[in-house]
Amino acid sequence: MKSEQKISILFVCMGNICRSPTAEGVFRHYVQEAGLAERIETDSAGTHAYHSNEPADRRAQAAAERRGFSLADIRARRVQANDFERFDYVLAMDNDNLDLLKEQADPEQYDKLRLFLEFSPAQEVEVPDPYYGGAAGFERVLDLVEDASTGLLEMLKRNHRL
């Protein structure tokens, strides 16, 4: 018997304008394609409030659009204390942000905290920050995010019988 409870995923990077909105947009697209939008909720946030309420970086948006993903409706926000209660999975883009999340979360919430690339078959552990680089960095982020999004969706289908 399938559970009807909604599964919630929060993607986290530092400023919430490059990596985490890309992850949110790509994963949301995959969820919609799988017909699971009523069962899986997505959001993204940053460990810092550098860009609160700003849209995703224009380079991230352009790279995503070239692959058919939209980040247009995503606005940057900072991780809030209630996010650790609200979300089933809080997925960091790198170890630095994972450490910052662990500082904010209660120890009993640590099981929700993971690196996003744990769901990818790639050998990389972290999604590199493309902010100070060129267009190739945003393409690399998309490659990693697409792989991890596929793996995450497969795990959710399997573990939550979706």
Delineate the domains of the chain, giving CATH numbers in brackets.
7-159 (3.40.50.2300)
Tell me the average pLDDT across 98-125. Answer: 97
Q: Does 4 score more than 80 pLDDT?
A: no
What is the reported pLDDT for 32?
98
Q: Please, what is the end-to-end C-alpha distance for the chain in angstroms?
A: 10
Close Cβ partners of 140 (under 8 Å, ≥ 6 residues apart): 128, 130
Apex CA 157: angle with CA 45 and CA 146, to 5°? 50
Catalytic positions, please? 13, 19, 129
Nearest of 89, 70, 67 to residue 144 by alpha carbon: 67
What is the reported pLDDT for 122?
87
What is the reported pLDDT for 71?
98
Tell me the average pLDDT across 96-102. Answer: 98
pLDDT band at 2 (very low <50, low <70, confident <90, very high): very low
Q: Does 1 score more than 50 pLDDT?
A: no
Question: Rounded to whole angstroms, how far apart are CA atoms 81 and 104?
Answer: 7
pLDDT band at 15 (very low <50, low <70, confident <90, very high): very high
Q: Does 81 score more than 80 pLDDT?
A: yes
pLDDT band at 5 (very low <50, low <70, confident <90, very high): confident
Q: In this structure, what DSSP letter does residue 117 have?
A: G
Tell me the average pLDDT across 58-82. Answer: 98
